[in-house]
Structure 1
C-alpha cells in the first residue's frame, strides 16, 4: 500500500464519513470485533521481518487481532506463511495488498477492510492458479463478506493487471528457497524422465518414462503409481511450459494427489551444473519442513 493511500485513509477516518460504514468495520475498544470477544485489547505492532507475506507491503505497523481472527503473532506467521508462494505466481498485482489487509491490517484509527471489487479481482485471477495445485478459493476469503466499494475500503491499484500466462507449475525459478517451499508443500518429489505429453479435457497429461525413477519424497505414492506414473497440469492444455519443449533430460518433479489424480505442482529440468539444485537436493535429506505444509491455505 502506498504512503499516499495510507495518508488518505487517515484523513477519511478522522472525518464523520466512517459513520456510514457497517458495524462490522468498527474496531471496538471493548475487545469485541467481528462478532467475537478477544482476551486482549487491539494492539499496534511492527510487522516482523519473518512475516514474509507482508514485511515489504508498504507500511510498517499492523493491528492484532487481525481481520481473520488471529490474536497472536505466531498464529499470524503460521497461517500467512502458506500464502507466500502465491505472490511468486504473479496472478494479480494486488494479491499482496489484499492478503495483507486481512493478515496484517494497517494500523489506523479503525480497521479498514479490502473492497469487494479488490477481492473479486484477486479471486478471479488467482483462483485458477490455486486450482492448478488442487486448492479451492477458501471460504474465509468469500468476497461477499467485504464492503462494496466506498471511500473507506482498500481499492484496487489503478493499473492494468497482468496474469502470468505461463503454466503455474512451470513458472518457478531454480532457486533453493523456491525448491524447498514446493518440496514441503508437495506430497511427492521425484527425479524422472517424461516419455510423452498430451492434452486431455483442458488439462496437460504427462506420461512418465518407464526408466527407473529416483524417489526423493515418496509420500502418498504407491509402488503401482510409480510403475505407470501419469501427472496432470490442471487447466494447462494451452499455457506455455518451456521445460516441456524438450523431453530428453531428467526432470525434478513435485506433485500432490487430489481426488485420486496426481497433479504436477512444480517442474524443473535437472541441471547438473546448478549449485542451487545441488544444495536443495542435499537439504532434502534432513530438512524439517514448517508446520504448515500447503502452498496455499
Structure 2
C-alpha cells in the first residue's frame, strides 16, 4: 500500500513537472520568432488571413496581458482581432475581471486568446482551463449583468492534450489568491485607476445618498434619497430617472457589503442599465480626504473612455 502511494505521488509530481515544462517551453519559444508562416487548422472551421501573421511586442497599454509572463504575441490573435487597436479595445473591457480574483488562471486563459504566444501554429487553451475559469468567474460576471460570452464557450476548445494550454495552478492551490466573499461591486480599492476603469465601464456615475436598503428575490435593492444628486456621467439616465432612483445589487442579498453598513454618508455610485433594471457596478463611500478619489473625479471631466462594445466581451 505504501509503495502504491509513493508511485501515485511520483506520477503526480512528474505530471506537474511536465505541464510546467510545457508552458515554459511555449514562453521560451515565443522569443525565437519575429515572423512566421501560419495556416489555421480546421479549428473554428479554419480561417485564412490575407496579411501574414506577425510576432509583435505586447504593448504596455495592453493591461490585460502585459504582465502575463511573456513579451511577444501573435497578431492576428485567436479571437480574429487583426489589428492592435482592435485587441486593445476588446481586451481592455476584461481588465476589471482580473481585479475580482475569481480564478488564479483568469489571465492565463484570456491572454492565451487575446495575446497568444508566438509559435508556428496556434495553441489554444484546453477545455478544462476554460471550464475552470468559467465556473469561477461566470457568477461574478452575472452580478454585473453579463453572461459568459459566446466567443468563450468552452466546447469550442480542445480536450486536454499536449497541444493546448492547461491550468497552471490546478495542482498548487497554495499559490492562488484568496477569493473575497464580499459582493463584487463592494470589493474595489479606492484607487484612481480602479475608479476610472469602472467609470468607463459604467453607463452612469453619481454622487448620492442612499435612503434605504432592502432584500428582494436574492438581490439587494438600494433606494436613493430624494436629496440632490450630483451627476458625474449621465449616460442612459434621464432626468425623471433621477427622481425615483432604485439600484439593484445583483445576487447580493446575502454577501457582505461594508459600504452599506452605515448610510449616513454620500456615495460614489456607478451602474449599468440591464433589462430595464439599474445594476450597481461599483460603490465607494465619498471620502473627502482621499487623494485618489479627488484625482479620479478631476480626471473624469476630461477623460475620453475607450469605446467598448460591452464590458467583459
> CA–CA distance in 2 between the matches of 1:219 and 1:8?
47
From 280, 284, 290, the counterpart of 1:274: 290
> CA–CA distance in 2 between the matches of 1:60 and 1:11?
10
Equivalent residues of 2:38, 2:53 under 8 A apart:
no
Equivalent residues of 1:203, 1:234 under 8 A apart:
yes
Tell me which residue corresponds to 1:125: 136
Equivalent residues of 1:189, 1:215 under 8 A apart:
yes
> CA–CA distance in 2 between the matches of 1:273 and 1:93?
34
Q: Report how far residue 212 of structure 1 moved.
A: 1.4
Q: TM-score under structure 1 normalisation?
A: 0.88
Q: Report how far residue 237 of structure 1 moved.
A: 1.0
Tell me which residue corresponds to 1:148: 159
Equivalent residues of 2:140, 2:184 under 8 A apart:
yes
> CA–CA distance in 1 between the matches of 2:192 and 2:154?
35
Q: Report how far residue 103 of structure 1 moved.
A: 0.6
> CA–CA distance in 2 between the matches of 1:243 and 1:48?
36
Tell me which residue corresponds to 2:23: 6
From 138, 152, 174, the counterpart of 2:190: 174
Q: Residue 40 and residue 270 in structure 1: after superposition, are their counterparts in 2 closer, same or farther (change >3 A)?
A: same
DSSP-derived class of the 1:295 partner: coil
Q: Report how far residue 163 of structure 1 moved.
A: 3.4
Size of the aligned set, in residue pairs, is 281
From 224, 249, 260, the counterpart of 1:208: 224
Equivalent residues of 2:27, 2:70 under 8 A apart:
no
Does 2:253 correspond to 1:237? yes
Tell me which residue corresponds to 2:33: none
Query: Is there any run of 5+ residues in structure 1 with no aligned partner, and where?
Result: 13-27
Does 2:49 correspond to 1:65? no
DSSP-derived class of the 2:64 partner: coil
Q: TM-score under structure 2 normalisation?
A: 0.84
Does 2:115 correspond to 1:98? no
Q: Report how far residue 108 of structure 1 moved.
A: 2.4
DSSP-derived class of the 1:118 partner: helix
Tell me which residue corresponds to 1:20: none
CA-based RMSD of the aligned residues comes to 2.1
Does 2:203 correspond to 1:192? no
> CA–CA distance in 2 between the matches of 1:213 and 1:284?
17
Tell me which residue corresponds to 1:19: none
From 29, 47, 54, the counterpart of 1:43: 54
Deviates more, 1:253-262 or 1:102-111: 102-111
From 167, 174, 179, the counterpart of 1:163: 179
Deviations 1:85-143 (A, max 9, x none): 11011111100000000011112233211110110111111111111111111100000
Tell me which residue corresponds to 2:121: 110
Q: Report how far residue 4 of structure 1 moved.
A: 3.9
> CA–CA distance in 2 between the matches of 1:3 and 1:128?
29
Query: Is there any run of 5+ residues in structure 2 with no aligned partner, and where?
Result: 1-18, 30-35
Q: Report how far residue 291 of structure 1 moved.
A: 2.1
